Amino acid sequence: MTTSIFESRATIIDAMKAHWRLYMFEGVVMIVLGVLAIAYPVFATLAVDLYLGWVFVFTGLLALVGMFWARHVPGFWWALVTAILAIAVGLALLVKPAAGIISLTAVLTAFFFVEGVFQSVAAVSYREAIPQSWGWLLASGVADLALAAIIISGWPGTVGWTLGLLAGVSLLTSGVAIVMVALSVRSLALSVNEALQGR
């Protein structure tokens, strides 16, 4: 069992070393989007609502079209109901964004709580695999938990701007964490390469 843990950690580190530039790019994009959402939280709140509305409508339509091509598949009626429900939820978010914002804020609060717990646990679990940057992952998880607490304490007065602000802060902290992990892995890769060349 110990060998498989070390092998899986080595696999994670190898994958991160090979793709650290992609992680860096992802982190920088998340930081920029986070800063924009924090600067304009009301617009970000509305953007999140409208974006999710369109996502539900399009995925519902795609599922609906797909189900009519596969009418004889087991679970057809369940999939059909799910597709229609996705379209209905999407249209509700698009037609009544204020109600959608309240619902999404409640769902986002739950998401931040769950993400905060899982990210904190993952950071502690991988602290040996990424010793220079696990603290950043932990900080991101703790920030998500703090965001969940803020939104609950301000309910319902802050609903109009909280969704965009919280999404922005989460994007910013997650982006910083990803950038720090990418830099740490890059540094590790350079150290390994220098050691191998010094042989």
Q: How confident is the model at residue 9 (pLDDT cuts 50, 70, 90)?
A: low
Dihedral of the alpha carbons of 46, 104, 32, 27, in degrees to the nearest 10: -160
Count of Cβ atoms closer than 10 Å to residue 165 Cβ? 21
Question: Would the pLDDT of 191 be above 80?
Answer: no
One-letter amino acid of 26: E
Out of 64-68, 95-99, 140-144, least confident range: 64-68
Question: Would the pLDDT of 63 be above 60?
Answer: yes
pLDDT, residue 19, reads 79
Residue 118 within a domain = yes
Residue 53 within a domain = no
Question: What percent of the chain clears pLDDT 70, i.e. is strictly above it?
Answer: 88
Q: How confident is the model at residue 199 (pLDDT cuts 50, 70, 90)?
A: low
Question: Would the pLDDT of 2 be above 60?
Answer: no
pLDDT digits (tens, 9 = 90+) for 14-47: 776 777 888 899 999 999 999 999 999 999 999 8
Angle of helix 2-18 versus helix 20-39 axis, rounded to 10: 70
What element of type H or E holds 116? helix 97-125
Query: Structure tokens of 122?
Result: 């993952």
Residue 127 within a domain = yes
- Name the region of 73 (left: φ>0; alpha: ψ -120 to 50; beta: rest): beta
pLDDT, residue 39, reads 95
pLDDT, residue 6, reads 58
Pick 70 or 175 by higher pLDDT.
175
Residue 198 within a domain = no
- Mean pLDDT along residues 48-59: 91
Question: Would the pLDDT of 192 be above 70?
Answer: no
Residue 105 within a domain = yes
Count of Cβ atoms closer than 10 Å to residue 80 Cβ? 15
One-letter amino acid of 155: W
Residue 176 within a domain = yes
Q: Please tell me the total count of domains within the chain.
A: 1
* Residue 40 domain boundaries: 9-48+97-192
Sign of the alpha-carbon torsion through 192, 193, 198, 199:
positive
Work out the mean pLDDT of the chain and round it to a whole number: 84
Residue 141 within a domain = yes
Pick 79 or 171 by higher pLDDT.
171
Pick 169 or 11 by higher pLDDT.
169
Query: Structure tokens of 95?
Result: 């037609």
pLDDT, residue 147, reads 81
Query: Collapsing DSSP states into helix, strand and coil, what is residue 89?
Result: helix
pLDDT, residue 184, reads 83
pLDDT digits (tens, 9 = 90+) for 133-155: 888 889 989 998 998 898 888 88
Residue 68 within a domain = no
